[in-house]
Amino acid sequence: MRKLLGLALASTLILGACGSNDGDKKEESKSYTTNDIVKGFKDNKLNVINEKEMTREDFGLAPMKTDEAKMFVVQDDKNARVMKFKNSDDLKQTKKYYDELGKESAAFYSHTHSKGKFLIQMNGDIDDATFNKYKNSMDKTLK
């Protein structure tokens, strides 16, 4: 009887360890990049002009803690940045930097929106309606 009970317990443990967690698979399969976000903008007919990978100089005084970062022109000489972070602390610190800068001076105001590991930051001279189109596009891409 003990052997049978031991065998049943061992089988349960082995099968449990070999099983898969569908939630983990879904999370792994949705490994988005900044390219996916930018492609979503383009697919939604939003301006993405002179797209480029951000360099150290492009970050200026902002924290440079991104995994990936792209920059592009939205209209005239007004830019947007799409950044991906390894962790939420780095994302929150960077978002806070831009948000606090705008509170210190209206001249430095910028739009920001985060979802998951991504942050979009856009020149504050771009109207809210335009920013919302990019924000909604990013949210749709990351569903």
Structural domains in the chain, sorted by start:
32-141 (3.30.160)
Which of residues 4 and 134 earns the better pLDDT score? 134
pLDDT at 24 over 90: no
The string of pLDDT tens digits covering residues 64-115 is 999 999 999 999 999 999 999 999 999 999 999 999 999 999 999 999 999 9
With pLDDT > 70 as the criterion, what percentage of the chain qualifies? 80
**Which one, of 79, 89, 92, lies nearest residue 119 by Cα?**
92
Contact 68, 116 (CB under 8 A): no
Instruction: Choose among 65, 125, 72, 61: nearest CA to 91.
Output: 65
- Provide the 10 A C-beta neighbour count for residue 47: 15
Cβ–Cβ under 8 Å, residues 65 and 85: yes
**β-strands 49-53, 66-75: how paired?**
antiparallel
The residue with tokens 């991906």 is 84
